[in-house]
Amino acid sequence: MFQKIRPLYFLFLLFVLFSCKSEADKIAEQTTTRNALIDSTINSFQKKLLTQQIDSVFSKYNFNGSVAVIKNDEILYQKENGFEDFKQKKKLDSSSVFAIASVSKQFTAVLVLLLEDEGKLNTEDKVSKYLTDFQTSPFKNITIKELLNHTSGISDFGNGLVSEPGKAFNYSNKGFMLVGEIVGKVSGKSYDENVKELFEKAGMKNSFTANSFNGKNFASAFTGNSKSFQAVENMPKRLADKSISVPAGGILSTVNDLHRWNTALYQDRILKPESLKKFMEKSADRNHPILGKMDYGLGMMMNVGKPLAYFHTGYVKGAPSLLIYYPESKTSVIILSNIADEMNGKNAIFNPHKKVKEITDAIQNTVIELRKEMIKTTLQQ
């Protein structure tokens, strides 16, 4: 009797299992469809808001530059206005290559973390292990991490310290130039070779260093305004000078490549998860002269409150920039320009960038809550 029942029992089990799987598949399919519909609705809402509000920034400030807001691979907003070259009146487009200034610092920090992933150094190592100039007081106890989060105390002016290592935030381009030297020494390759490999890893096809730029589609830097302007001489080669240096501020890129960078970096395609966490986690406090109080990681700034955002400003003469990533929605915001009226001061130069960040921060907070409410409503139906 048992022998006759057992096959029927197994058939019943298989039926139950397949029925459960089918039901689970149906639920998963319904969830995917629901989420896609919600995301589509929210994206449409964002596009309208962004167009209305960022277009007004272009108009108010007569902004010469490129702004893009890209979620995953969907363009929510993209606009170019003005000229790559004011003398030739060559217009900007999505392939225009800008100097991104201190936005470069995150690439340098990531190169260090990649070397740490390979076991070739540790961010807690003393700089004196790699650079002989640091083997005497008061420099001998400075760590690589302190160079990366600007708490080394190293002054950009003169050869002393402005604060005790590890005690206070003091922004230092020289510190990142020194990090670039460590990267070259430890890897056995030049900084330029290292960062070129990083571009390739991130899928960035139109990004360069000041030393390797091919000369095409360059949004050269200008001071003044569209009616009265002056070209910044020797661009982009001047970015490789020690006064700036490639590791601190000498990378050139496009809006689309910087979105590719954000996507690759924050979605674990570049660093090991634990290294990405180290890159992002707060290790210092910063009071930014334009954007106010913020947290600082390793070559990366973060909002103190909501929304969660990782970003960095950049400025070299005639070229202000801002790169933002909102991890909760996987959205990049890229704001690049190639002219600055320095007579008005840096706050005025960055007014368009600051305003766009205020807009996208507010929209992020709105859509995150809106998505939660829409999901909650559909589940209750």
C-alpha distances out from residue 379 to 40, 72, 138, 373, Å: 18, 25, 62, 10
φ/ψ of 205, rounded to 5, equals: -100, -10
* CB distance 112 to 278 below 8 Å: no
Query: pLDDT (tens digit, 0 to 9) for every residue of the chain, 381 residues total?
Result: 334 445 455 445 445 555 565 666 766 766 677 778 888 889 999 999 999 999 999 999 999 999 999 999 899 999 999 999 999 999 999 999 999 999 999 999 999 999 999 999 999 999 999 999 999 989 999 999 999 999 999 999 888 899 999 999 999 999 999 999 999 999 999 999 999 999 999 999 999 999 999 889 999 999 999 899 999 999 999 999 999 999 999 999 999 999 999 999 999 999 999 999 999 999 999 999 999 999 999 999 999 999 999 999 999 999 999 999 999 999 999 999 999 999 999 899 999 999 999 999 999 999 999 888 888 777 766
Compute, in degrees rounded to 10, the torsion defined by CA atoms 128, 130, 131, 135.
20
Answer yes or no: is 43 within a domain.
Answer: no
Question: For residue 368, how many other CB atoms are within 10 A of its CB?
Answer: 17
Beta-bridge partners for 251: 209
Distance, in Å, from the CA atom of 199 to the CA atom of 138, rounded to the nearest integer, reads: 36
For residue 93, what is the domain's CATH number?
3.40.710.10
Domain enclosing residue 227, as ranges: 63-380
Match 């973060």 to its residue by tokens.
302
117: Cα separation from own chain's centroid: 20
C-alpha distances out from residue 176 to 42, 65, 105, 181, 272, Å: 40, 27, 7, 9, 22
Question: For residue 10, how many other CB atoms are within 10 A of its CB?
Answer: 10
* CB distance 298 to 151 below 8 Å: no
* CB distance 127 to 143 below 8 Å: yes
Match 């070559």 to its residue by tokens.
299
Distance, in Å, from the CA atom of 140 to the CA atom of 132, rounded to the nearest integer, reads: 9
Task: Name the 3-class secondary structure at 83.
Answer: strand
Read off the tokens for 298. Answer: 């390793």
Instruction: State how beta strands 222-224 and 339-340 pair.
Output: parallel
Question: For residue 227, how many other CB atoms are within 10 A of its CB?
Answer: 7
Answer yes or no: is 203 within a domain.
Answer: yes
C-alpha distances out from residue 87 to 226, 235, 249, Å: 10, 15, 25
Answer yes or no: is 56 within a domain.
Answer: no
Distance, in Å, from the CA atom of 255 to the CA atom of 332, rounded to the nearest integer, reads: 10
Task: Name the 3-class secondary structure at 121.
Answer: coil
Answer yes or no: is 21 within a domain.
Answer: no
pLDDT of residue 64: 98
pTM equals: 0.91
Burial of 169: CB neighbours in 10 Å, binned 0-12, 13-18, 19+: middle
Return the closest-CA partner of residue 247 out of 164, 302, 172, 313: 172
Read off the tokens for 135. Answer: 């083997």
Counting the structural domains of the chain, the total is 1
Task: Name the strand (E) or helix (H) holding 319.
Answer: strand 319-326
Task: Name the strand (E) or helix (H) holding 333.
Answer: strand 331-337
Distance, in Å, from the CA atom of 4 to the CA atom of 161, rounded to the nearest integer, reads: 88
- Strand residue runs (E) in 198-283: 208-209, 222-224, 229-231, 251-253
Which amino acid belongs to residue 264?
A
Task: Name the strand (E) or helix (H) holding 191.
Answer: helix 191-202
Helices (H), 68-190: 105-117, 144-148, 173-187
Read off the tokens for 46. Answer: 């964002």
Answer yes or no: is 146 within a domain.
Answer: yes
Answer yes or no: is 28 within a domain.
Answer: no
Task: Name the strand (E) or helix (H) holding 90.
Answer: strand 90-91
Read off the tokens for 202. Answer: 């991130």
Beta-bridge partners for 252: 99, 208
Answer yes or no: is 257 within a domain.
Answer: yes
Answer yes or no: is 210 within a domain.
Answer: yes
